[in-house]
Amino acid sequence: MNKILNNRQLKTIQNFWRWIEDNERNIYTAMALGIRTDEVMQHMERNLNYVSKRLGYIIVCEREGVKLYITAFGQRKLFPKLIALEEAMPKFTQLIPIAFIKPITNKEPYRNKQDDYFVFSKITVKISDLYLQLDDFNTTSKKINITVFHSYKETKKLYEAIETMIAFVIGEMAFKKHVKNIEIKPIVSNTTGLLQLIELDEYIAYLYSCMAYKRITQ
């Protein structure tokens, strides 16, 4: 078990997973079939708040099942609690729990626009519908400013959804490390010169390699 957390904190984590176990069927039904979704999500948030009010969750319905992501949104101070959650995680029959948002590894469905929609509150978003341009790369802080182009109705919820999509593409730890600022704009008619969002991690690696090459040749 994680030695950084005290017994009370570890107990709240055990209680959280026990609640998930007791309500697994209701959670699955709410997410997969849309039955009593708001009620279930309110109970989920309340029980996760006992662990930390700064932790969040994202539920994604994919072909392989309903995935429950527990995230610190890149806040390093919360990583010990995420690690403890991961260590205490039981096995479920209908849910697939995941601590930390980890980067997507199989990119082909996204490049071919065959990816699934992510469902948020009143918003559905596909990663393959999002494009980006680099606005700035600070070689000192090694952080980027980007603009993401989309084809959805622009709301505050959309901005939060796009932030989440970026975290899924590069992982929440890399998101915190590399991304300084995000702007969102409606998609332009000609996307030539723009990158697909799914390519962001490769582009960050390219920027780092350019920095390394510059140091070598100086």
Q: Is residue 197 part of a domain?
A: yes
- C-alpha distances (whole Å) from 6 to each of 2, 9, 206 are 9, 5, 42
Q: Give the C-alpha separation, 43 to 56, whole Å.
A: 13
Q: Is residue 48 part of a domain?
A: yes
Helix axes 37-51, 7-22, angle to 10 degrees: 160
pLDDT for the residue numbered 1:
44
In this structure, the answer to whether residues 19 and 84 fall within a common structural domain is: yes
In this structure, the answer to whether residues 86 and 136 fall within a common structural domain is: no
As given in the structure block, the two tokens for residue 7 are 């017994």
Total of domains in the chain: 2
In this structure, the answer to whether residues 92 and 142 fall within a common structural domain is: no
In this structure, the answer to whether residues 68 and 20 fall within a common structural domain is: yes
List the chain pLDDT tens, one digit each, 218 residues.
445 899 999 999 999 999 999 999 999 998 888 888 889 889 999 999 999 999 988 888 777 788 999 999 888 899 999 999 999 999 999 999 999 999 999 999 999 999 988 877 678 899 999 999 999 999 889 899 999 999 998 888 899 889 999 999 999 989 989 999 999 999 988 999 999 999 999 999 999 888 765 555 55
Q: Is residue 212 part of a domain?
A: yes
User: Coil, strand or helix: which one is 100?
Assistant: coil
Q: Is residue 115 part of a domain?
A: no
In this structure, the answer to whether residues 73 and 132 fall within a common structural domain is: no
> What does the DSSP assignment read for 110-179?
HHTT-PPPEEETTEEE-GGG-EEEEEEEETTTTEEEEEEEESS---HHHHHHHHHHHHHHH-HHHHHHHE
pTM: 0.80
| Residue ranges making up the domain that contains 162 | 127-217
pLDDT for the residue numbered 19:
97
In this structure, the answer to whether residues 62 and 134 fall within a common structural domain is: no
As given in the structure block, the two tokens for residue 123 are 């918003």
Q: Is residue 114 part of a domain?
A: no
Q: Is residue 107 part of a domain?
A: no
Q: Is residue 53 part of a domain?
A: yes
Within 13 Å and on the Cβ side, how many CA atoms surround 207?
20
Q: Is residue 2 part of a domain?
A: no
Place of tokens 């709301």: 155
- Final residue in a domain of this structure, among 99, 118, 135: 99
In this structure, the answer to whether residues 66 and 144 fall within a common structural domain is: no
pLDDT for the residue numbered 216:
56
- Final residue in a domain of this structure, among 99, 115, 138: 99
In this structure, the answer to whether residues 140 and 190 fall within a common structural domain is: yes
pLDDT for the residue numbered 61:
79
